[in-house]
Amino acid sequence: MLKINNNFFDINQKYLFSEIRQIIRQKKSKNIKLIDMSIGDISLPIDQNIIKALHKAVDEMGDINNFKGYSPDQGYIFLRESIKQKYLKLKIKLNLSEIFISDGSKSDLSNILEIFSDQNIVGIQSISYPVYYDSCKLGGYQICFIRSCKENNFLPSPEDIIGPKPDLIYLCSPNNPTGMAYNTEQLKNWVDFALKNNIIIFYDSAYQDFIKQKDIPYTIYQIKDAKNCAIEFCSFSKSAGFTGLRCGYTIFPDEIILKINNKNINLNKLWARRQSTKFNGVSYLSQVAANEFLKNNNNLKYIKHCDANSKKIIKYLDNNLKQKYWGGVNSPYIWLETKNNLKSKDYFKYLINNYNIITTPGIGFGKDAEGFVRISNFFNI
Ligand SMILES: Cc1ncc(COP(=O)(O)O)c(C=O)c1O
- DSSP string covering 332-358: SEEEEEPGGG--HHHHHHHHHHHH-EE
Question: Which residues pair with residue 327 across a beta bridge?
Answer: 334
C-beta pairs of 217-223 under 8 Å, 24+ apart in sequence:
217/182, 217/183, 217/184, 217/187, 218/90, 219/87, 219/90, 219/92, 219/251, 220/171, 220/187, 220/191, 221/87, 221/90, 221/92, 221/251, 221/253, 222/90, 222/92, 222/184, 223/184, 223/187, 223/188, 223/191
State if residue 40 touches ligand 1 by the CB under 6 angstroms criterion: yes
Distances (CA, A) of 125 to 130, 147, 200, 311: 10, 6, 15, 27
Same domain as 328, residue 291: no
- Our CA dihedral for 359, 209, 181, 90, rounded to 10 degrees, sits at 170
Residue of minimum CA distance from atom 1 in ligand 1: 176
Same domain as 90, residue 156: yes
pLDDT averaged over the chain? 94
Is 154 a residue whose pLDDT tops 90?
yes
Please count the structural domains in the chain: 2
Same domain as 133, residue 35: no
Range name among 13-27, 50-64, 83-97, 335-349 with the lowest pLDDT average: 13-27
**pLDDT for the residue numbered 335:** 98
Q: What is the DSSP letter of 236?
A: S
CB 250 within 8 A of CB 231: yes
Q: What is the per-residue pLDDT across 269-300, written as a single tens digit (0 to 9) for each?
A: 999 999 999 999 999 999 999 999 999 866 68
Is 1 part of a structural domain of the chain? no
Calculate how far, in angstroms, residue 262's C-alpha sits from the geometric centre of ligand 1.
37
Which of 238, 335, 365 is the pocket-test mutation for ligand 1 (most atoms within 8 Å of CB)? 238
Distance CA 132, CA 127 (A): 11
Instruction: Identify the band that residue 17 occupies on the pLDDT scale cut at 50, 70 and 90.
Output: low
Instruction: Identify the band that residue 68 occupies on the pLDDT scale cut at 50, 70 and 90.
Output: very high
| Rounded mean pLDDT, 313-337 | 93
Is 8 part of a structural domain of the chain? no
CB 71 within 8 A of CB 287: yes
State if residue 106 touches ligand 1 by the CB under 6 angstroms criterion: yes
Instruction: Please list the alpha-helical segments (H only) found in the chain.
Output: 16-29, 48-61, 77-88, 105-111, 130-139, 184-196, 237-240, 267-278, 284-295, 301-320, 344-355
Range name among 139-148, 230-239, 340-349 with the lowest pLDDT average: 340-349
For residue 366, what is the domain's CATH number?
A: 3.90.1150.10
Nearest in space to 133 (alpha carbons), one of 122, 148, 118, 119: 122
Computed on alpha carbons and rounded to an integer, the radius of gyration of the chain in Å comes to 21
Same domain as 367, residue 220: no
Which of 176, 211, 231 is the pocket-test mutation for ligand 1 (most atoms within 8 Å of CB)? 176
Q: What is the value of pTM for the model shown? A: 0.95
Calculate how far, in angstroms, residue 248's C-alpha sits from the geometric centre of ligand 1.
10
Signed CA dihedral, 102, 21, 337, 341: sign only? negative
Is 81 a residue whose pLDDT tops 70?
yes
For residue 73, what is the domain's CATH number?
A: 3.40.640.10
Out of 295, 321, 344, a domain closes at 295
**pLDDT for the residue numbered 298:** 62
Is 276 part of a structural domain of the chain? yes
Phi and psi, residue 190, nearest 5°: -70, -45
Calculate how far, in angstroms, residue 132's C-alpha sits from the geometric centre of ligand 1.
11
Same domain as 313, residue 288: no
Instruction: Identify the band that residue 130 occupies on the pLDDT scale cut at 50, 70 and 90.
Output: very high
**pLDDT for the residue numbered 15:** 64
| Rounded mean pLDDT, 350-363 | 91
Nearest in space to 141 (alpha carbons), one of 153, 133, 129: 133
Residue of minimum CA distance from atom 3 in ligand 1: 206
State if residue 176 touches ligand 1 by the CB under 6 angstroms criterion: yes
Residue of minimum CA distance from atom 5 in ligand 1: 106
Is 2 part of a structural domain of the chain? no
What is the residue range of 320's domain? 15-45+300-376
Is 170 a residue whose pLDDT tops 70?
yes
Same domain as 28, residue 65: no
Residue of minimum CA distance from atom 14 in ligand 1: 40
